[in-house]
Structure 1
Amino acid sequence: MSPSHPRAYCCRAGVAPYPPSSPLCHRGHPAVPVPEPLASAAPHLRRHDGQRRGCRELPALSRRLRPGAGSRRFLSRISVHPALPQSAAFVSSQPLEVWRGATAPGRPRSRICVCLNFYHISGSGISSLKSRAKQEQCGQYLHLSAGVLLLFNCDHLQYNLETEKDPVVIVISTTGTGDPPDTARKLVKKIQDTTLPPDHFAHLQYGLLGLGDSEYTFFCNGGKTVDQRLQELGARHFYDTGLADDCVGLELVVDPWIDGLWHALKEVFLLQKEREGMNSGVDAVSNSLSEAPHVVHELNLSSEVQNLKLEHEGVKSSDVLSQKLVDISLVASNRENEASLVHSVPPISQSALNIPALPPEYIEVQFQDTHGENPCLSSLISEGAVFEVPVTKAVQLTREDAVKTALLLELDIADTVFDYQPGDAFCVMCPNNVSEVEELLHILELSEKGDYFVCVKVKQGTKKKGAARPQHIPERSTLKFILTWCLELRATPKKAFLRALVECTSDVREKRRLQELCSRQGASDYTRFIRDPNVCLLDLLHAFPSCKPSLNLLIEHLPKLQARYYSASSSNLYQPGKLSFVFSIVEFAACPTRPVSRKGVCTGWLAELVAPQLRANRNTVDTNRGSCSTEKISIFARPNNAFHLPSDPSVPLMMVGPGTGISPFIGFLQHRQKLREEHTDWEFGETWLFFGCRHQDRDYLFKDELRCFLENGTLNHLKVCFSRDSSSTAEVAPPKYVQDVIRLHAKEVARVLLKERGYFYVCGDKKHMADGVSDAVVDILSMEMETDKLEAMKFLATLREAKRYLQDVWS
């Protein structure tokens, strides 16, 4: 019943397996089926020409496959078949949104109803869409004229996989080190119950789409975990599992996966109706699902049927957005043919545009008085306890002339039940920049109402089905609290948000340009001028000054302000009641799309918070002493289930941590030193640390501490490199990067991994370091094992599975 996909490609890098029959590509990633639309359009994925086909080739492939396809979210691509132009319901460009279609005059009302369940699991929430409308109720529900009805209901509280008989579509993302999102953990824990019988889900038929990023080791592991466990418990696929990679573009897998989904559903529904003896309705279903799917959220309103739908849906005639440009041009006379965020050039400036339907407003904000208290920050997270802890020490680890500024902060957790192990990460709850909040209030003309309490609730009469107040927005709080602690003001606006901003823009040229940026034809401009430079809402409002969005629009479209993750750089055994972490202050330079330079949301806030302590330390000889502070920050735990020291202390370990990637290894070494002091009779394996930075005298982090670890025997081998230091006197140029140093010690690396079954840890930048380290280890294994690279990749994959090659990396 599932579509056949005979071709295969690398699920992470988008490259062909080598050799073709191998389950791995030439980078050691597992090969998965290619959806037929992708395989047909890109037959070169089936062969290997000896060259590395990296991820960066695939955006061009995406443009060849689907010109203008720029959607980054699966839910914004859900579509209904073109044979259902008057269907009772279809999903629009807004997630989990249902629209009602019209009944064509004179058309007979169908009594056929198809039940489909849609289960969406992501870091931002769980939503289920389902219907159990009976045959006799379909005609009464919306006066149907179509052959098939897709009914969706957002009440996921009544959803139960254990009793579900209708087909289920599951979409699940991956977070952390291959973990399911927070909102899916209860589900995963439930299905992983070892007491469940092997036929527990024998009644269930499902299709699953996993969302992930191959920049990280455990690609799509959240989806893979759920998929594998459901299979073990007897569930059946009605459609092949898809794994979408945000590194190369989710749409490369999502688009063809959705296209094939409808054909798979057709077969399921036909069989279902045949079994129910409803042969009279099968022809209608078959005919209605025989053509290619049509994306209904990108409306091309050229037919009377589409106009009829919009009128029935309450969309104004001004929203008919397939329009010809008459004489509007956004190209400044002195810019000739140069495109920018606010200026367009032909052909898009002279093109008709396919623009998403206007998302219906569903939030209402009522201003109240200035009396009351804001909710506590713990109410803003879905699970776990929040601890407000003081910052007891702040030290600048780099010199003033270093390229990046690295800070060490120490927190006092003695009066809390917060616990951690070396290697664990934790979250810091950070606010938006105060000046940016004030600036936004000024643009919204709400500066005088920032301290007013507001009541946020669902707008009466909204056309958004299943509308609810976002969980991260308090029902009652001050306006400043919402803008400071709840909304990610730096988030890159999605196309649906741009579409909504069009209606808030008075200048005709600015309005047109926003329409272009959210249109199908403007996909490349959206990527070039908004997504790639990380343009945020404030940048847009500066670029389009006539745009004056309402407060409710911001609440509807801006995502939750996420806590920031940091690795612990201390040991609770070595320093009881203390938690330290290291970070570099992130800086974004001004550019054509960003009028002012900015610092990272969290790192900039932390640096400003401890600035008085840093000034006090500046003239102090002993910078490790720091100074006392009354400043507090809110944190909560996010344990790392794998990135820990070996349980057996006699096992040797190698650590690779350039720059701030050294942070967790300081905790490792502190912990190991304390164990050596307390257990003199224990046997301890040798320890290696590969560290690198730009300049030896500017950003060599923890230089004195590492020397002490060497002297007391906690650290056996310290190998360092400096990428920007020149060495004109040396006959042979010294290695610049940690992967180069690792290659110089190939025999030792092979001995630790192959003979002594040691552990290998990597922490730091994924793209510019971790991949290079992985390649170096593969080359070493290939050389020492006297085998080809493919076998070495397979061996490295087994090390990963055995949790002996561990990574804590970021993009």
Structure 2
Amino acid sequence: MPNTTLPLTPEALQTLSDLTPTQLAWLSGYAWAKSQGVGAESAVGFAPVLTSAAEPLNVTVLSGSQTGNAKGVADKLADRLKAEGVNVNRSQLKDYKAKNIADESLVLLVTSTQGEGEPPEEGMLLLKLLNGKKAPKLDNLQFAVLGLGDSSYPNFCQAGKDFDKRFAELGGTRLLEVGVADLDFQATAEQWINDVVDIVKAKNAAALSVSSQASAALSAPKAGQAAKTSQYNKENPFPATLLTNQRITDRSAEKDVRHLEFDLSGSDLSYQSGDVLGVYFENDPALVAEILTAIGVNADEEVNVNGKLLTISSALQTEFELTQNTSAFVKGYAALANNAALDVIVADSEQLQQFVQNTPIVDVINSFPATLAAADFVSLLRPITPRLYSISSSADEVGEEVHLSVGVVRFEHKGKVRSGGASSYLADRVEEDGTVRVFVEHNDNFKLPQDNTKPIIMIGSGTGIAPFRSFVQQRAAESAEGKNWLIFGNQHFALDFLYQTEWQQFAKDGFLHRYSFAWSRDQAEKIYVQDKIREQGSELWQWLQDGAYIYVCGDASRMAKDVEQALIDAIAEHGKLSAEDAEEYLDNLREDRRYQRDVY
């Protein structure tokens, strides 16, 4: 006679009746593994294998950001996914071990682009690994990439495209085509987020479980934990009073560099050394008038801008980008201008790119004149986007002020002097006691060591000196014990020594322990900061052995690359390493946050 006694107690059966289908499926696998004699610890790991259909996705959301835009998009994506019950591991690339990419199953990456199509500083190591000899197989990886960039540059969103390409070449599977977003990235980013969330939701639909929901709940910020923040930001800039506008290069110098001081009183805006200030600007009225004359439009004619009727003169001065040309503008203008010579330029991508880089918008119109309707011309233009400048002051030193060191962009094209939009606005068109709309962008990738006893080596040229003034002000305010070494370059000692008296005072007060200056035009043979690095490589190597942090600020296309090669050469020579090992040594410094760059 068969035994009809139930193997489980009524209490156990009651507990089972309260479980979800997903929990029952998981328990089934766990119990089966236990019945086969698998240990408890192994069984816990084995059960999900048997119920893989119910296993929640583990999604890693990564961001590579220079000024915070990519981070903000990635944060929004992560929050959306968590709200859908998806397990999300959110990490900035500065905190992410590059080698861990081999263990990921689903990665969503948002990255900015800098310099000549390069990734932001925090993304350098991962892209280097993906392109190197030790690149991992990524056959189990599903991925999607969004690139942020600026279409006025030739390698638009190249960092995003490079990550996307290498993920695929190493065996990964695209969830959707690489996204590319221009300076006004919000709408494109929002659509990309929607598309990604829909795809991930579909993959995760059968696997929402109590554990994934609990994980999302645990990762949510608790009420009352938010730090006090200012109401002012990129979308709502603060009208800061311009206190000081002082030229700090000699009147006869080729470069016009301004020291600018703004009052942040009443804004609750805060910043740390290494952060940047965003500046909204207005275009030069004379430039607006020249463009309107060239296209044959009356200054009082009205155009619709985001639902508001403005005179085209006002719209061009305050709403649209007029000083950064793009291939999209030239192509659009060519379609309206009906000019055979311009059509030839547009038809050749290489010739078009050179033309865009070397020809301001106004001179595209002057060179290939055409009469246009006001609305048609406005449709070709991008909205004005704020310019970002490295902050050159420490809040602990200057209180509720913020200082900038701005090189005014001026150049001649076809016999006329042209100027940069924001730099000429700050230098020429805002009077002292006038207001400028500003906001703070935090730059976590360019920060002083938390331990202020550590030595620092600061390498910059031109206005790349700005954050280093902030660094040394901060260290002086803290009476920091760490040694400070400045390696600075510019054209002439007598004309271009930015903040000379301040550096002399820092040295006198014991906060500038070593300094090396490269004046490129004061002798027949040009001398640059990279030459000083090689010349003083032995001392630099010793500082590194003492735990020094290296900071580089300046031009990405030439200076920063030349400096990096000089650092590798000095490390190889004085550390007695091969070139490959010296490069790996520098990469390790970067990973340890001891080699940081703010390049543009």
Q: TM-score, normalised by structure 1?
A: 0.50
Deviations 1:327-351 (A, max 9, x none): xxxxxxxxxxxxxxxxxxxxxxxxx
1:197 aligns with 2:25: no
Report the alpha carbon displacement of residue 746 of structure 1 after superposing the two structures with TM. Answer: 1.8
Equivalent residues, number = 460
Deviations 1:361-419 (A, max 9, x none): xxxxxxxxxxxxxxxxx99x995531111111122111111111111011111232111
1:750 equivalent in structure 2: 541
Q: Is the 8 A contact 1:493 1:558 kept in 2?
A: no
Report the alpha carbon displacement of residue 791 of structure 1 after superposing the two structures with TM. Answer: 0.9
Alpha-carbon distance in structure 1 between the residues aligned to 2:271 and 2:110 = 34
Q: Is the 8 A contact 1:746 1:780 kept in 2?
A: yes
1:569 equivalent in structure 2: 392
1:607 aligns with 2:427: yes
SS across alignment from 2:496: coil
2:248 equivalent in structure 1: 397
What are the residue-to-residue correspondences of 1:165-244 with 2, within 5 Å?
A: 176=66, 180=70, 183-188=73-78, 197=87, 212-213=113-114, 215=116, 216=118, 218=120, 221=123, 237=141
Alpha-carbon distance in structure 2 between the residues aligned to 1:402 and 1:382 = 36
Q: Is the 8 A contact 1:210 1:222 kept in 2?
A: no
1:302 equivalent in structure 2: none
Deviations 1:547-596 (A, max 9, x none): 223333333331221111111111111111111111111112123xxx52
Deviations 1:622-657 (A, max 9, x none): xxxxxxx32111101111112121111111111112
1:518 aligns with 2:338: no
Q: Is the 8 A contact 1:178 1:222 kept in 2?
A: no
Q: Is the 8 A contact 2:63 2:74 kept in 1?
A: no
What are the residue-to-residue correspondences of 1:87-166 with 2, within 5 Å?
A: none
Report which structure shows greater RCO (CA 8 Å, sep ≥6): 2
Report the alpha carbon displacement of residue 428 of structure 1 after superposing the two structures with TM. Answer: 0.6
Alpha-carbon distance in structure 1 between the residues aligned to 2:452 and 2:174 = 57
Alpha-carbon distance in structure 2 between the residues aligned to 1:415 and 1:268 = 46
Q: Is the 8 A contact 1:384 1:637 kept in 2?
A: no
1:429 equivalent in structure 2: 280
Q: Of 745, 763, 769, which residue of structure 1 is paired with 2:559?
A: 769
Q: Of 533, 556, 562, which residue of structure 1 is paired with 2:379?
A: 556
Q: Of 357, 365, 388, which residue of structure 2 is paired with 1:541?
A: 365
| Distance change (3 Å), C-alpha of 1:174 and 1:512 | farther
SS across alignment from 2:493: coil
Q: Of 665, 669, 674, which residue of structure 1 is paired with 2:477?
A: 674
Alpha-carbon distance in structure 2 between the residues aligned to 1:637 and 1:699 = 28
SS across alignment from 1:697: helix
Alpha-carbon distance in structure 1 between the residues aligned to 2:89 and 2:409 = 51
Report the alpha carbon displacement of residue 747 of structure 1 after superposing the two structures with TM. Answer: 2.4
1:795 equivalent in structure 2: 585
1:512 alignment partner AA: A
1:737 equivalent in structure 2: 528
Alpha-carbon distance in structure 2 between the residues aligned to 1:268 and 1:217 = 21
Report the alpha carbon displacement of residue 482 of structure 1 after superposing the two structures with TM. Answer: 2.2
Report the alpha carbon displacement of residue 768 of structure 1 after superposing the two structures with TM. Answer: 3.1
Alpha-carbon distance in structure 2 between the residues aligned to 1:532 and 1:741 = 32
2:290 equivalent in structure 1: 439
2:343 alignment partner AA: Q
Alpha-carbon distance in structure 1 between the residues aligned to 2:400 and 2:108 = 48
Deviations 1:233-287 (A, max 9, x none): x9965689799997768799969x89x99xx999999xxxxxxxxxxxxxxxxxx
Identity %: 25
Alpha-carbon distance in structure 2 between the residues aligned to 1:208 and 1:761 = 26
1:515 alignment partner AA: D
Alpha-carbon distance in structure 1 between the residues aligned to 2:587 and 2:521 = 33
1:638 aligns with 2:441: yes
| Distance change (3 Å), C-alpha of 1:759 and 1:384 | farther
Q: Is the 8 A contact 2:325 2:357 kept in 1?
A: no
1:420 equivalent in structure 2: 271
Q: Is the 8 A contact 1:220 1:243 kept in 2?
A: no
| Distance change (3 Å), C-alpha of 1:209 and 1:650 | closer
1:697 equivalent in structure 2: 494
Q: Is the 8 A contact 2:113 2:158 kept in 1?
A: no
SS across alignment from 1:411: strand
What are the residue-to-residue correspondences of 1:264-275 with 2, within 5 Å?
A: none
1:774 alignment partner AA: E
| Distance change (3 Å), C-alpha of 1:394 and 1:210 | closer
Alpha-carbon distance in structure 2 between the residues aligned to 1:684 and 1:399 = 34
Gaps of 5+ in 1: 1-169, 229-233, 270-377, 457-472, 613-628, 677-682, 728-732
| Distance change (3 Å), C-alpha of 1:605 and 1:214 | closer
Q: Is the 8 A contact 1:487 1:561 kept in 2?
A: yes
Deviations 1:731-789 (A, max 9, x none): xx8x8222222223222211222x22221111112233222221121112212332211
Report the alpha carbon displacement of residue 177 of structure 1 after superposing the two structures with TM. Answer: 5.6
2:575 equivalent in structure 1: 785
| Distance change (3 Å), C-alpha of 1:515 and 1:571 | same
1:73 equivalent in structure 2: none
| Distance change (3 Å), C-alpha of 1:182 and 1:441 | farther
Q: Is the 8 A contact 1:210 1:244 kept in 2?
A: yes
Alpha-carbon distance in structure 2 between the residues aligned to 1:793 and 1:268 = 34
1:501 aligns with 2:325: no
1:482 aligns with 2:315: yes
Q: Of 465, 471, 479, which residue of structure 2 is paired with 1:662?
A: 465
2:70 alignment partner AA: P
Alpha-carbon distance in structure 1 between the residues aligned to 2:89 and 2:467 = 43
Deviations 1:49-70 (A, max 9, x none): xxxxxxxxxxxxxxxxxxxxxx
Deviations 1:440-476 (A, max 9, x none): 23344433515x5x445xxxxxxxxxxxxxxxx4544
Report the alpha carbon displacement of residue 711 of structure 1 after superposing the two structures with TM. Answer: 0.7
1:365 equivalent in structure 2: none
Q: Is the 8 A contact 2:455 2:483 kept in 1?
A: yes
Q: Is the 8 A contact 1:177 1:217 kept in 2?
A: no
Q: Is the 8 A contact 1:694 1:725 kept in 2?
A: yes
SS across alignment from 1:660: helix
Report the alpha carbon displacement of residue 532 of structure 1 after superposing the two structures with TM. Answer: 3.2
| Distance change (3 Å), C-alpha of 1:786 and 1:604 | same
| Distance change (3 Å), C-alpha of 1:511 and 1:419 | same
SS across alignment from 1:803: coil
2:364 alignment partner AA: L
Alpha-carbon distance in structure 2 between the residues aligned to 1:759 and 1:797 = 13
Alpha-carbon distance in structure 2 between the residues aligned to 1:751 and 1:177 = 32
Deviations 1:155-185 (A, max 9, x none): xxxxxxxxxxxxxxx9x99652686175554
Deviations 1:512-541 (A, max 9, x none): 23333333xx2333234x2231442x2222
**Considering only aligned residues, what root-mean-square deviation do their CA atoms show, in Å?**
4.4
SS across alignment from 2:557: helix
1:714 aligns with 2:511: yes
| Distance change (3 Å), C-alpha of 1:436 and 1:198 | closer
Q: Is the 8 A contact 1:244 1:254 kept in 2?
A: no
Alpha-carbon distance in structure 2 between the residues aligned to 1:455 and 1:556 = 10
SS across alignment from 2:265: coil
1:697 alignment partner AA: A
1:653 equivalent in structure 2: 456
1:531 aligns with 2:356: yes
| Distance change (3 Å), C-alpha of 1:719 and 1:213 | closer
2:216 equivalent in structure 1: none
Report the alpha carbon displacement of residue 491 of structure 1 after superposing the two structures with TM. Answer: 3.2
